[in-house]
C-alpha cells in the first residue's frame, strides 16, 4: 500500500474551534469517534482575512503584530492549544509526540496559515491549524491538500435569530457549512455523550446509504442506534413501518443492534425534534436531488438542523 493510499484510508475529523465551550464539547466527541489508530483529528481556527474597511483602513495585522511584540499569543493559537491540552487530558494524545510546525503565507497575509502537527510512532496525527480565509465558513470547507475530511464537527450556541432574520439574515456559519460542505457535518449543540444516535429514515435508497455510513460512525464511539420514521398521515403509517423494517434489515445484515425503532404520525420535523431530545445526535441525510434545492436550503433535514435542540449529524 502506498503512502497516498494509507492517507486516503484514514478517517479524518475536522473540529472547528472558536474558544467556546460548545466547540470543546465537539472536540470531546471527536476524541471518542477518533479513538482508533486509523483516525486523525485536525482542530481548525479560521481567521477571516481583514478587509481593512472595518478597521478604518489600518490593517488589523498591525495590531496583531504589536500583540506579538508584547509576547502575547494570537487568539486562535491560545484556543487551539487549549484544545490540544484537552486531548492530552482525555488520554487521546501524549505530550511526547513528535511535533512539526509549518507556516505558509496566505492571501497576502504574512501571519498566514500555521499548522502544528503532532504524530506518534503508529502514525496517528493530531493537528492544530490556524488558518486565514475570506470567510470563516469558506475556510472550514476549503479542500485540504491531503484530501477531504470525512467529518466536520462544529459546536454552536443556541440560535437567537428572529423569524425575520432567518428569512433575510445571513445564515450563521454552522448552517452554511452544514448545507454546503462535501463531507458529513455534525452540528453540536451541547453534545451529551452516551445517549446514542437517532437515525431518521424514509426507506429510500438515500436514507439506506446514510444508515450504512452512520452505522460505521456510531460503531467508532460504541454509540447505540435507534431508528425513527414519521408518517405525515395515519394512512401513510404502513409506509413508515416499511421504512423501519427495511432499515432494520440493513443494520441486521451489518450485525449492528437497533436499540429502539420508533414510528410516529404527524409533522416529521416536530416529531423528530421531540424524539431527538432523548438522544445525543439526530442523524439526517444530506443528499440532495439537485443543486437548486441546496441553493434555497429547504427541506425537512434543514428544518431539523435549524430548529433542533439536540446535535444534528448531516451524513453525506
Partner 1 sequence: MTQYLTEKKWFFIAMIVGAIIMSLPIPEGLTQAGLVVLAMTVVATILFVTEPVPLPTVALLIVVGQVILLGVASDVVAKSLMKDSVLFIMGSLMLAVAVVKQKLDKRIALMIIRVTGTKTTRIALGISTVSGILASFIGEHTVAAMMLPVGITLITLTSDDPKKVRNLAAVLLFSIAYGCSVAGIGTPSGGARNAIMIGYWQEFYNIGIDYLKWMLYSYPMFLIQLPFVTFILILTFKPEVSDLSPAVDKLKAQVAAQGPLKGRDYVSIILFAFVLYGWVTMSSTIGMGIVAVLGAAAFLIAGLVRWEDLNNGVNWGVVLLYAAAISLGVQMKDTGAAAWIAQSFLDMLTPLGADKGMGLWLSVSVLTTGVTNTMSNGAAVAVLGPIVLNLANAAGESPVVIGFITAISSAFAYLTVVGTPACTIVYASGYLKTTDFLNVGWKMALMSTILMLIFASVYWPLIA
Residue numbers at the binding site for partner 1 (CB under 8 A): 19, 50-64, 66-67, 69-70, 72, 74-76, 78-79, 110, 134-135, 138, 141, 170, 176, 180, 291-292, 294-295
Contacts of 308 (CB under 8 A, 6+ apart): 189, 272, 273, 276, 282
d(CA 285, CA 228): 13
In 3D space, the residue among 119, 122, 313, 141 whose CA is nearest the CA of residue 216 turns out to be 313
**Nearest distance in Å: CB 24, partner 1:** 12
Nearer to partner 1, 24 or 39 (CB): 24
**Nearest distance in Å: CB 216, partner 1:** 26
**Which residue shows C-alpha cell 460505521?**
216
**Nearest distance in Å: CB 55, partner 1:** 5
Nearer to partner 1, 264 or 294 (CB): 294
Nearer to partner 1, 79 or 118 (CB): 79
Nearer to partner 1, 120 or 180 (CB): 180
Nearer to partner 1, 4 or 63 (CB): 63
Reading phi first (left if > 0) and then psi (alpha if -120 to 50, else beta), residue 42 is in beta
**Nearest distance in Å: CB 19, partner 1:** 6
**Nearest distance in Å: CB 234, partner 1:** 38
Distances in whole angstroms, Cα of residue 1 to Cα of each of 5, 8, 9, 47, 144 = 6, 11, 10, 37, 22
Residue 64, SS3 per DSSP: helix
Burial class of residue 253 in the structure, from the number of CB atoms within 10 Å of its CB (0-12 exposed, 13-18 middle, 19+ buried): exposed
Nearer to partner 1, 176 or 246 (CB): 176
R_g of the chain, CA atoms, integer Å: 21
**Nearest distance in Å: CB 168, partner 1:** 10
Residue 263, SS3 per DSSP: strand
Amino acid at each position: 500500500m502506498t503512502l497516498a493510499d494509507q492517507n486516503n484510508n484514514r478517517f479524518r475529523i475536522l473540529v472547528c474551534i472558536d474558544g467556546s465551550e460548545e466547540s470543546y464539547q465537539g472536540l470531546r466527541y471527536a476524541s471518542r469517534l477518533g479513538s482508533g489508530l486509523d483516525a486523525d483529528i485536525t482542530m481548525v481556527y479560521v481567521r477571516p482575512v481583514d478587509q481593512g474597511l472595518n478597521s478604518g483602513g489600518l490593517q488589523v495585522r498591525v495590531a496583531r503584530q504589536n500583540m506579538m511584540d508584547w509576547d502575547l499569543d494570537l487568539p486562535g493559537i491560545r484556543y487551539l492549544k487549549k484544545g490540544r491540552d484537552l486531548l492530552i487530558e482525555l488520554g487521546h494524545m501524549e505530550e511526547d509526540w513528535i511535533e512539526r510546525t509549518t507556516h505558509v503565507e496566505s492571501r497576502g497575509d504574512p501571519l498566514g496559515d500555521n499548522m502544528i502537527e503532532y504524530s506518534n510512532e503508529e502514525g496517528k496525527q493530531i493537528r492544530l491549524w490556524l488558518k486565514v480565509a475570506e470567510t470563516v465558513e469558506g475556510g472550514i470547507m476549503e479542500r485540504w491538500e491531503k484530501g477531504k475530511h470525512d467529518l466536520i464537527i462544529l459546536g454552536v450556541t443556541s440560535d437567537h435569530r428572529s423569524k425575520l432574520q432567518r428569512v433575510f439574515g445571513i445564515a450563521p456559519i454552522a448552517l452554511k457549512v452544514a448545507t454546503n460542505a462535501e463531507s458529513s457535518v455534525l452540528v453540536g449543540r451541547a453534545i451529551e455523550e452516551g445517549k446514542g444516535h437517532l437515525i431518521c429514515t424514509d426507506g429510500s435508497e438515500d436514507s439506506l446509504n446514510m444508515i450504512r455510513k452512520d452505522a460505521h460512525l456510531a460503531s467508532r464511539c460504541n454509540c447505540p442506534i435507534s431508528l425513527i420514521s414519521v408518517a405525515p398521515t395515519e394512512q401513510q403509517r404502513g409506509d413508515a413501518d416499511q421504512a423501519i423494517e427495511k432499515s432494520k434489515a440493513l443494520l441486521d445484515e451489518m450485525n449492528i443492534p437497533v436499540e429502539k425503532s420508533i414510528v410516529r404520525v404527524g409533522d416529521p420535523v416536530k416529531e423528530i425534534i421531540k424524539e431527538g431530545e432523548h438522544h445525543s445526535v439526530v442523524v439526517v441525510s444530506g443528499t440532495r436531488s439537485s443543486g437548486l434545492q441546496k441553493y434555497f436550503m429547504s427541506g425537512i433535514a434543514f428544518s431539523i438542523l435549524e430548529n433542533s435542540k439536540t446535535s444534528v449529524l448531516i451524513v453525506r
